[in-house]
Amino acid sequence: MPPPPLAKTMIMKTCIFIIVLLGCQTNVLIAQSTWFITFDPEIAVQNTVGEIVEMDGAYYVSLFAANSFVPVNQSAVMKFSSAGQHEWTTLARYPSSADSFTTSFNLLPGKDTSIFFLSSAKTWDTPNRILINKFKPDGSIAWDKTIALNDGGKVYTNFNGNALGPDSLYMILARATPSVEMAIFCVDTAGNNLWQNRFSPQTNYSINDLLSVVVAPDSAIYIAYYNSIISAQTKDYVVKCDPHGTPLKYYLNPQPDFSDFPAHLAWHPNGNLVYLSHRSFPSGQGGADPYGGMRVQMLTPDLDTIWTYLFYELTVPYGLFRTNTSRHLSIAPDGKILASATANNYMHLVCFSPEGDVLWWRELALEGEVDPGYRLKHFNTAVWTSDGGILANGYMYGTIDMAYKSKIFLMKLDSVGCLEPGCDQTVITDVQEATSLSDDCWSVSPNPATDVVRVRFSPECPQARWVDRVLLFDLHGRLVYEHPLEGSLEVSIPTTSLPAGVYFLQAGDGRLVRLSRRLVVGR
């Protein structure tokens, strides 16, 4: 079923509450089972949040505190209650020989109520090592251990992969030297390296990043990665390995005239694999292709495609374009798939059924100065929570008292991505309402339309001056109508023959879109 149209709904009550609570270290808004908090970890100048893990009614969030040198700034794990209260922050523990660390900050819940934290330890005269910290629920660290390649080779630690297997074995993924090799480490819950395998995967160039690893119930290992050509020739892959890390089969994302970047892998309760990637470079074919999008696919255990869906959203100011980043997958117990993509101050949440239908989508945004001085914001990830809601995170930063400062934020939403019930958008702002840059440029009425829709352009709008045609695309990016303006500021589009549904109405010159808006055709 197609996603519903989105109307702008500003949550001004949220804004007022946040302003009232300013000046505290933790700012909390609670509305029924939803809330929004900002929090200063007070660890470093730059505090960047990573993954979210829920366990025993609490939320654990990983934190990367730049500038990468131990002990000036370190990575950490934070614990919050289900109502958003901060309970503790504990710095990761590094071996005395470590000079620095990288920005990997993966979390993994253990089956004994512990939390595993994946980072790395680096020295100037020895190969990089993967670092694991085991955190207890009270914030204490049970142990920290490092693992390295048995042959003494160097491990590149720009990885994002770890997974817990069905037999409680911990799988870790890293890129090895040379850069055409990857390494899989199998570690038990006591931190012992049981085995490791190093191999050269299929690629048409060197490996760039290893994005995700999944261990299936039969202990098969799946890895998403891509090559290091940053152009339309970028190739993204999924490799299936046996339980000892030997490659069995490869999946190359079909991309004749575009390129995808892998983002995440997840195992679905129906016994298949869910793969998230981001379409980046345009094909120039019209429709959504020139603008990228978030691609969600379901693959069989043998890496055959069951379904694929390219989600894109072109409406300013919160469009989902090729310059955005697909982030994360989260699978609910009933099989619903939550996919997220970000673009600094806003995030797209898209909920899919196991059959590949879009059930709903939502736009989250932070506008203006949610806290005074914190002008820039970055969303990071979003996950389902055990109560059926969603938890999203990110960080904000700016200049406060002539110095750079940053805070993190957590946003607890309901089951359809709303901070307040019945929302169409969740926009948190200050007293200034966020509006579309194109609102005064044109009018589209009626919307929803039945027989005809009339489009009128304002001659005073700078964007409208460049418009020479109006185009209408369906949800699959197919062009269904095009009309040249030829100097006119008004055009009527017949909609009688169009199937009922959601369309994208665009105005521009050539392939460059100047204005975009959703159009609903009803009957």
* 219-236 residue pLDDT tens: 999 999 888 776 657 788
Q: Where are the alpha helices (DSSP H) in 57-129?
A: none
Identify whether 166 is preceded by a cis peptide bond (ω within 30 of 0). Answer: no
The more confidently predicted of residues 505 and 425 is 505
- Residue type at position 269: P
Count the neighbouring beta carbons within 10 Å of the beta carbon of residue 58. 14
Q: Closest by alpha carbon to 135, among 100, 187, 90?
A: 90
Q: Among 83-87, 124-128, 488-492, which is the least confidently predicted range?
A: 124-128
| Over residues 188-214, mean pLDDT | 85
CA distances from 182 to 197, 350, 368, 464 (A): 8, 32, 43, 51
pLDDT tier, 69 (very low <50, low <70, confident <90, very high otherwise): very low
Residue 418 and residue 388: Cα distance in Å, rounded? 12
Half-sphere exposure of 258 (CA within 13 A, CB side): 23
Q: Closest by alpha carbon to 331, among 275, 293, 277?
A: 275
Q: Among 27-41, 45-59, 278-292, which is the least confidently predicted range?
A: 278-292
| Over residues 348-366, mean pLDDT | 93
Burial classification of residue 213, based on how many CB atoms lie within 10 Å of its CB (0-12 exposed, 13-18 middle, 19 or more buried): buried
* 416-472 residue pLDDT tens: 998 887 777 777 654 333 334 355 678 889 989 999 999 998 887 766 666 788 888
The more confidently predicted of residues 432 and 489 is 489
Mean pLDDT, rounded, of the chain: 79
CA 221-225-226 angle, to 5 degrees, is 155
Count the neighbouring beta carbons within 10 Å of the beta carbon of residue 375. 14
Amino acid 302: pLDDT: 97
Q: Among 25-29, 97-101, 406-410, which is the least confidently predicted range?
A: 25-29
Is 118 within 8 Å of 101 (Cβ atoms)? Answer: no
Name the token pair of 71.
Answer: 């002990």
Is 185 within 8 Å of 172 (Cβ atoms)? Answer: yes
Quick one: what percent of the chain has pLDDT higher than 90?
30
CA 198-202-208 angle, to 5 degrees, is 75
Q: Is the pLDDT of residue 10 over 50?
A: no
CA distances from 316 to 102, 123, 518 (A): 35, 46, 11
Amino acid 1: pLDDT: 32
pLDDT tier, 267 (very low <50, low <70, confident <90, very high otherwise): very high
Question: Edge to edge, what strands does the sheet with 376-384 contain?
Answer: 26-31, 34-39, 403-413, 390-400, 376-384
Q: What would the DSSP string read from start to end of 475-491? A: TTS-EEEEEE-TT-SEE
Q: Is the pLDDT of residue 286 over 50?
A: no
pLDDT tier, 476 (very low <50, low <70, confident <90, very high otherwise): low
Q: Is the pLDDT of residue 127 over 70?
A: no
The more confidently predicted of residues 296 and 97 is 296
Question: What's the farthest any 2 CA atoms get from each other in the chain?
Answer: 73
* 131-174 residue pLDDT tens: 888 999 888 889 988 888 888 877 765 556 788 888 878 788 87
Burial classification of residue 161, based on how many CB atoms lie within 10 Å of its CB (0-12 exposed, 13-18 middle, 19 or more buried): buried
